[in-house]
């Protein structure tokens, strides 16, 4: 097989995933990675495939929108803490390390807002969480923007990405290495 996926009709070669995995295995975290060829090693390659195709989706979207990294908010504005990183998910959070992805994030979420009634209701339900309306508004706005971005990213990937057999999402219950069972 020569391609792991297509993104916007362009093939993503296996060699690109091989190179990404080789860089990871040559890094300081190499000892913590699963052995190649094992079920966990195949899951790592699936995750790397998700990361690479998502980066390509972001690059295509940035180009289509005429965006550049100069419009990017700081990473700390988009991902202020580990809880937010987990909320976004590992692929989206990793991609948002790139300023161009954060520029797409800002563009995609520019129209997202939360209303005063929603903020007031939140403050009533959580009276000790925030001391000011502005703090609560900022918290809810950030959460709403992250949710909008995740939904947009999932829909965009579904529309323009086709994964090759063996490179399905690591959490896809149809692939044989999935270990998440209920």
Summarised one tens digit per residue, pLDDT across range 87-129 is 998 899 999 999 999 999 999 999 999 999 999 999 999 999 9
Residues ≥6 apart with Cβ < 8 Å to 107? 65, 67, 71
- In angstroms, the CA 144 to CA 112 distance is 7
Q: Is the pLDDT of residue 130 over 70?
A: yes
Q: Is the pLDDT of residue 172 over 70?
A: no
**pTM, rounded to two decimals:** 0.89
Pairing of strands 161-163, 3-7: antiparallel
Summarised one tens digit per residue, pLDDT across range 54-72 is 999 999 999 999 999 998 9
Model pLDDT, residue 1: 61
Q: What domains sit in the chain, N to C, each tagged with a CATH number?
A: 3-163 (1.10.4030)
Burial 5-17 (b: 16+ CB within 10 A, else e): bbbeeeebebebb
Model pLDDT, residue 88: 92
DSSP SS3 for 150: helix
pLDDT band at residue 179 under the 50/70/90 scheme: low
- In angstroms, the CA 105 to CA 162 distance is 22
Q: Are 165 and 46 in contact (CB under 8 A)?
A: no
- Read off the tokens for 100: 């161009």
Residues ≥6 apart with Cβ < 8 Å to 27? none
Bigger pLDDT: 81 vs 175: 81
């Amino acid at each position: 097989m020569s391609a792991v996926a297509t993104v916007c009709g362009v093939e993503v070669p296996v060699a690109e995933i091989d190179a990404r995995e080789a860089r990871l295995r040559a890094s300081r975290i190499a000892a913590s990675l699963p052995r190649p060829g094992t079920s966990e090693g195949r899951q790592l390659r699936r995750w790397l495939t998700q990361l690479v195709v998502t980066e390509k989706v972001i690059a295509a979207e940035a180009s289509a929108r005429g965006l550049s990294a100069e419009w990017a908010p700081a990473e700390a504005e988009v991902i202020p803490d580990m809880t937010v990183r987990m909320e976004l998910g590992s692929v989206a959070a990793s991609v948002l390390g790139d300023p161009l992805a954060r520029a797409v994030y800002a563009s995609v979420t520019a129209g997202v807002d939360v209303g005063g009634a929603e903020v007031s209701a939140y403050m009533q339900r959580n009276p000790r969480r925030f001391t000011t309306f502005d703090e609560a508004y900022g918290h809810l706005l950030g959460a709403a923007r992250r949710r909008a971005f995740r939904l947009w990213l999932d829909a965009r990937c579904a529309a323009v990405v086709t994964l090759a057999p063996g490179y399905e999402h690591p959490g896809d219950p149809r692939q044989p290495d999935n270990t998440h069972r209920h």
